Chains A and B, each alone.
Chain A
Amino acid sequence: MLAKRIIPCLDIKDGTTVKGINFLGLRNVGDPVELGQKYAAEGADELVYLDISATNEGRKTFAELVTRIAEGIDIPFTVGGGISSVDDAGRLLLAGADKVTVNSAAVRRPELVDEIAGRYGSQFIVVAIDAKTIDGQWVVTTHGGKRLSERELFSWAKEAQERGAGEILFTSMDHDGTKSGYPCETYARLCDMLSIPVVASGGAGSVEDIAEVLTVGKADAALAASIFHYGEIPIPVLKRELDKKGINIRL
């Protein structure tokens, strides 16, 4: 039986791992390859590396890092951050990434999803969606939650699937970094509506939160950062607890 996936997310700036609370106040938590290997050995099912470098120099460092990650990691990994063309995606594929995530660039120019899926296949492209509620509507945001777009979560997710996305990574900006749990009803609606996997991200504070989004929220995978980076919930503990709750987990 297909296992629900647990995915640590590593934010990378200028070649090192960082994680901010609500994307502010970054704090260094280690070498990206070593940290990835540690998570893989602990039972992570996949890894996500997000480049949050703002400079060209930082982006170049990241591409070199992807090559090192591919050499050192024996589970699938996804990379994202600043991918705005099919060539950007292709470079990361050649460096060894298993998937890429696109976010703001796809909101700005949705054809990017068709182009990447057409060239490299749907299994290679994850569309990440950051959204927050405004007057009861889930509004898609870009640039790490700083800008509102014209798009609405459900219609954008459906469109992304139709354009060839292989997976949706949805983060609620209302919950990200708060450790108050996930908006499970929203996840369940998204999962019922889509035929591709949905990854839940942002908001996990406890094992119960993650169990809930994988069951009530119907998510295929849960992605988290700080609870792993700061050792609050070690992956082996999390996976054993989820297994005890009857959730299908790779132990």
Chain B
Amino acid sequence: MIAVIDYKTGNLCSVENALGRLGGEYVVTGDAGVIRSASHVILPGVGEAGQAMASLRGSGLVDVILGLTQPVLGICIGMQLMCRGSEEGDTQCMGIFDADVVKMEPGQGLKVPHMGWDTIEKLDSPLFRDMEDGVYVYYVHSYAPQLSAHTVAVTDYGTLFSAALQRGNFFGTQFHPEKSGAVGEQILKNFLCK
């Protein structure tokens, strides 16, 4: 059973629908026991990092997440909360990944938010099994994690940022696999194979 963590930050239906299309059995839950006993855990997230982190702390789930040993996938804000901290709302996050999330300032006339389909390169994680550098994934974000020792994919938008991070059983994507067509579906399948 896959647990999608519900910490009251908003709408989780795109992640739910993607799992539904994959035929995976999942439960949307804020219950520590259910999360601990899940085969896989997904930490989604929408909105603003400061508020999202406050909700997560309020739900009492931070220590639960830090103690998980099964595969955990953070998506977008969910992944940012797994970093050290975010400039958005000057937020201290969980510190699973050794990376800081900063406001994107790509320059060169590039627009923020970074929105649309962009390529990921230097793929170096089981998440990207059977994939080649240069595949397109869907992004919508204004903040991004810098490069770090845990970077397992990069995207170049003015500067390089971490498109994906991994540390042991913890995975994170800045892009939205649940909205990234066939490529995104493969990434979710790869995660669920772990």
Give chain A's interface residues, CB within 8 Å of chain B.
1-3, 5, 40, 45, 70-72, 74-76, 93-96, 98, 121-123, 166-167, 195-197, 220-221, 250
Contacts and interface: CB of A to CB of B under 8 A. Distances in A.
Interface of B: 11, 13-14, 17-18, 20-21, 46-47, 110-119, 136, 138, 140, 156-157, 178-182, 184-185
B181 A71 contact: no
Contacts of B157: 2
Contacts, number: 72
A74 B18 contact: yes
Rank and list the top 3 A-B pairs by shortest CB-CB distance, nearest first. Answer: A250-B136, A3-B117, A250-B117
A195 B111 contact: yes
A3 B118 contact: yes
Nearest to A198: B111
B47 A121 contact: yes
A95 B11 CA distance: 9
A194 to B, nearest CB: 9
Nearest to A73: B17
A71 B17 contact: yes
Residue among B13, B21, B110, B115 with the most chain A CB within 10 A?
B115
B136 A74 contact: no
Contacts of B13: 70, 94-96
A74 B178 contact: yes
A72 B117 CA distance: 20
Contacts of A166: 113, 115
Contacts of B138: 75-76
B113 A122 contact: yes
B14 A70 contact: yes
A221 B21 CA distance: 28
B49 to A, nearest CB: 12
Contacts of A197: 111, 115-116
Contacts of A220: 111, 116
Nearest to B22: A74
